[in-house]
Every structure is written in structure tokens, then in C-alpha cells.
Amino acid sequence: MTGSPRTSPVWHPFCQHKLEPVFKQIVGTEGAHLIDEDGRSVLDAISSWWVITHGHRHPVIMAAIRLALERFDQIIFAEYTHEPAEELARGLIRLAPSGLAHVFYSDSGSTAVEVAIKMALGFFHNRRALRSRVVVMEHGYHGDTIGTMSAGERGVFNAAYTPLLFDVDTIPFPAPDREQQTLDALERFCRGGNVAALLIEPLVLGAGGMKMYSPRLLTEFRRITERYGTLMIADEVMTGWGRTGTLLACAQSGITPDILCLSKGITGGALPLAATLCTAEIFDAHLSEDRSRTFFHSSSYTANPIACAAALANLEVWREEPVEERIQAIAGMHHDRLARFRSDRRFVNVRQQGTIAALDLAVETTGYLSEVGPLLRTFFRQRDVLIRPLGNVIYLMPPYCVTVGDLDRAYGAIEEAAGFIEKAAR
């Protein structure tokens, strides 16, 4: 960490520049590692904010991008179509739970969710049904646009913008002792009759603190929404592409949502792209000779062909390589290594879902602004491990090429960090 004056004009995301050290430059990436300007190899234990799935610069994906560059740049998608987008749409529908029939492209997780909300509202609007409420889960996160912030947990992140955020109905997080309460709350809202959609992160609430709930509940959510004709939007922007142990988290509950949001790992993390999948029923509700029923949404880079080619290569990696085995191996390693933390009083809520392992440091102040957050980040940085705790929540979400040695180093650093925090507190 240097104390040199800040001269860069760049404004970084989620960054308090007054407190942040001058940023190190990354000069290259390789597998599970980032190489910094000093030539140090940093273990990317959080997949560069959850996007990198197979590892950095996977050769199959890189080759597909190079090849696509020979033929394409951006093409206006409201006028034309192209093979990468067509083939990818068919590929996504094949992988998704059966019942999803259409694919709408955009370019980030936030836009995938915005599109989903607009699809749900448009569905009821076009059917002249008065439904416009959105039900969300406590601690949820769906992005940083005004719409997705409205659907997410309110707090310090969006306090300044609350005057612009729309109202939603919130069901409690289904902690093990309150599962029924959550189901009852959902049923109560849905019964009210004006709920257009339940918007939910399946199995793991990521940015809200890696909070996990059982697949059985997701099945129950589906049952309740179906009963009341409420649409279910599964935000699998983070949970998708193997993170929870299966390609999609929804698969563990055997459910088909009405709308499915994908991004982050859709290109293996190589390029920005998002897809919002929906049922034929939702598409058909927008199908009309009446132009006012059109789905009015687009972004300039919709279905960027290079990004679509990267995503197609990602599908090929899933088809051709033992990705599931790698995921199971990581899940097994987490399971073994987490065992010792369960009996360590300095940690609580030791938990895991597939390739995601999380545990909370037992400290007085919790939450994102918890004092320990920045201390921990500095500590991990010094050990060349990229771990970004969410307050006192420490988690690992490695790319699938991570080795036993890498993970042992990460867990070693976590154990050491607990000792470091203990000392700092004295």
C-alpha cells in the first residue's frame, strides 16, 4: 500500500476513495490468479466479483472471441439477427428448466432484472389485469439501477436515492426458525391479488451476505405463486453457472420460474452479457397487432455478437469439459476445510452451498460497514488472496480451476485473519 498522492481520474465502484489505498494495477490474468504490476500472483478467491467461472482467460472462450472478431462488431438488434445470438438462445433454452421459451438479451445483471420486472408488469398490463406489486425477500440484491435498488435491501447503499425508489412488499428471509413465517407472508401478499411477481435469488442471497436457504422453500415459493397466478422471477445472476453445485440453483428444487435472469458467468466471465428468459405465455402477452403492446426495451449493445460468441463457447466448455466434476471437487474441499471452523468460537454461521463457502466472524459490529471489513481486506491483500468480506461475512467463491493448494492458502489466510482481528480488538 503506497501513500503516494492520487492522480487517477478514475472513480471506482463501491469505493470510498478517501480511505482506499492507491489501486494496484493488474497486468494480466491466468486461471485462478491475477498478476499485479509488481509481478505478484494474487489468488482470485471471489472470481473477480462472481463472474469468472472456469478460470481467467479460458482458452476455448478466448479463441471464440478472437474468431468472432473476424466477422462481427455490434449490430443493431432491433433490425437484424445473427447466428451467435440465435444459437445461444437455443442453447440457453436447452439448459434452462423446461417451459422457458424466449430469450431477451441485455448487458448486465441489473438490466437482466430490469427487463424481468418490465416483462412481468407488461404481461399484466397487456392482459388488462391490475397487477403491479413486486414481492422481494429481505436481504435481497438485484443490482444498482433505480429499479433493481427498489427491489433490493434498503440501507446505506441506497439511502440517498430512496426518494426515487418504488415501493415493494418484502417477505422475511427464511431463517430455519422462521420458514413458515416467510411462506405465510408470501401467501398473504399474493392473496391480496395485485402482486405481479415474486423476485427472488434462488438458494443463496449473494450481496446480502451469502445467506442460504433450503431448496424445499424454493419449491414452496413456486407452489404459492402458481396458486395465485403470481409470476416468479428467479434472479440467477450470481447463483447460475454452477455456483450452487448445479448449473442453475432452480434445478435443486425442480422448479421452472416464469422468468429467469442470467448474467455474470454466462460468458464464463469474459465479456458483459445478460439474458432474461421467459415463458411463451409472457411472450405471447406482448404479441399483438396492436403496437402499443410491444415490449419496449433495448440497450445499444443488446446481443453483442462477440459476447454471444463468448457465451456459446462457455456452453461448449460446459458440454465438453468435466465442469460438474470440478464443481463437486470444490464443494468437497469446502466441506472438509469448513469442518474445523465449525468448532472455532471466533466464527459463526459456517455454511456452504456448492462452490460457495461462507462464515461470519464473531464480532460485535456486523453489517457491511462493520469495522472489520476494511481490516480484513487489507489483511488478505497482504497475503495475495483476493477476498472481499461483506462486513464480517467472509466467503469464498473461486473459479472452478482452483487447486487444493490454492484453497488451502485461502482457508489458511481466513484462519490467520481471525487471530489478527482478535489482536486488533485488544
Contact residues toward ligand PLP (CB under 6 A) are 108-110, 113, 141-143, 201, 206-207, 235, 237-238, 263
Q: Which is nearer to ligand PLP, 43 or 233 (CB)?
A: 233
CB of 238 to ligand PLP, least distance (A): 3
CB of 108 to ligand PLP, least distance (A): 4
Q: Which is nearer to ligand PLP, 84 or 147 (CB)?
A: 147
CB of 233 to ligand PLP, least distance (A): 11
Nearest-CA neighbor of 415 among 383, 390, 391?
Answer: 383
Q: Left, alpha or beta for 228 (phi > 0: left; psi -120 to 50: alpha)?
A: alpha
CB of 151 to ligand PLP, least distance (A): 9
Q: Which is nearer to ligand PLP, 109 or 174 (CB)?
A: 109
Residues sharing a CB contact under 8 Å with residue 390, sequence separation 6 or more, in sequence order = 207, 209, 210, 368, 373
Q: Which is nearer to ligand PLP, 126 or 263 (CB)?
A: 263
Nearest-CA neighbor of 103 among 399, 397, 315, 400?
Answer: 315
Q: Which runs of E-coded beta strand occur in 95-147?
A: 100-106, 133-137
Chain mean position to CA 380: 23
Q: Which is nearer to ligand PLP, 211 or 334 (CB)?
A: 211
**Cβ–Cβ < 8 Å for 61, 241:** no
Q: Which is nearer to ligand PLP, 126 or 239 (CB)?
A: 239
Q: Return the residue matching grid coordinates 435472469.
A: 261
CB of 261 to ligand PLP, least distance (A): 7
| Position with the least CB separation from ligand PLP | 109
CB of 399 to ligand PLP, least distance (A): 16
Q: How many angstroms separate the CA atoms of 275 and 261, rounded?
A: 6
CB of 114 to ligand PLP, least distance (A): 9
- The grid cell for 159 is 439511502
CB of 230 to ligand PLP, least distance (A): 20
Q: Return the residue matching grid coordinates 440517498.
A: 160
Q: Which is nearer to ligand PLP, 225 or 239 (CB)?
A: 239
Helix 215-227, helix 179-191: angle, nearest 10: 20
Q: Return the residue matching grid coordinates 482506499.
A: 20
CB of 404 to ligand PLP, least distance (A): 27
Q: Left, alpha or beta for 135 (phi > 0: left; psi -120 to 50: alpha)?
A: beta
Q: Left, alpha or beta for 203 (phi > 0: left; psi -120 to 50: alpha)?
A: left
Distance between terminal CA atoms of the chain? 24
Q: Which is nearer to ligand PLP, 110 or 279 (CB)?
A: 110
Chain mean position to CA 147: 16
Q: Which is nearer to ligand PLP, 341 or 395 (CB)?
A: 395
CB of 249 to ligand PLP, least distance (A): 10
For 130, counting Cβ atoms within 10 Å of its Cβ (0-12 exposed, 13-18 middle, 19+ buried), the class is: exposed
Q: Which is nearer to ligand PLP, 107 or 406 (CB)?
A: 107
Q: How many angstroms separate the CA atoms of 169 and 191, rounded?
A: 13
SS3 category, 137: strand
